[in-house]
Amino acid sequence: MTTENHETSQANRHKARECALQILFAADMYAMPPAEQIETYWRELGDEALDAATRDFATKLAGGSLEHRDAIDERIRSRAEHWRIERMAIVDRNVLRLAVFEFVHMDTPNTVVINEALEIARRFSTFEATQFINGILDAIRQDIEGTSSGKTHATSNQ
């Protein structure tokens, strides 16, 4: 893979994560089945210029996060001392949900997941939120790596 293709792939994955965040945000605002939520997003708000791989990655992230939301929220609750998920800012809890889904169900290296979550939080939330998100994700990453051999994947999987 050339450097240009790798950078394009990284940018597309980042854009997919932003789209997935928007889907999860809408799901918090409007109660509807996950498949319908995703379909509505792509029909009404999705960027038509995105390639199929980027759309597929966003759909997989959002759909998986919604499908596994209860288990993901439980992991977040276990590390968000003195914070109820319902009281967290909508953006912050959904950045956390996406990252935890990606930790558990995707092949992305954990450090990449955290870095991407922080970049998205910087764009869509506050500076304080990045510190909060980083602390929770780092603790969850340690939990995951402590219960398994950890992820050892090449950064090119990002």
Q: Tokens 């029909």: give the residue.
A: 43
Burial of 98 per CB tally in 10 Å (0-12, 13-18, 19+): buried
16 contacts 61 by C-beta, under 8 angstroms: yes
Number of separate domains in the chain: 1
- CATH code of the domain containing 32: 1.10.940.10
pTM here is 0.86
pLDDT confidence of residue 2 = 52
Rounded-to-integer distance, Cα 32 and Cα 10, Å: 31
CA neighbours closer than 13 Å in the CB half-sphere of residue 41: 25
pLDDT confidence of residue 46 = 78
Q: Which of 41, 50, 9 is nearest to 22 (CA)?
A: 41
Q: Could you tell me the residue range of the domain that residue 135 belongs to?
A: 3-157
Q: Tokens at residue 40, please?
A: 């509505």
Rounded-to-integer distance, Cα 136 and Cα 145, Å: 14
pLDDT confidence of residue 148 = 62
Q: Consecutive sets of 10 residues in the chain, 158 residues long: mean pLDDT of each?
A: 55 93 94 91 86 94 97 96 91 98 95 97 94 96 78 39
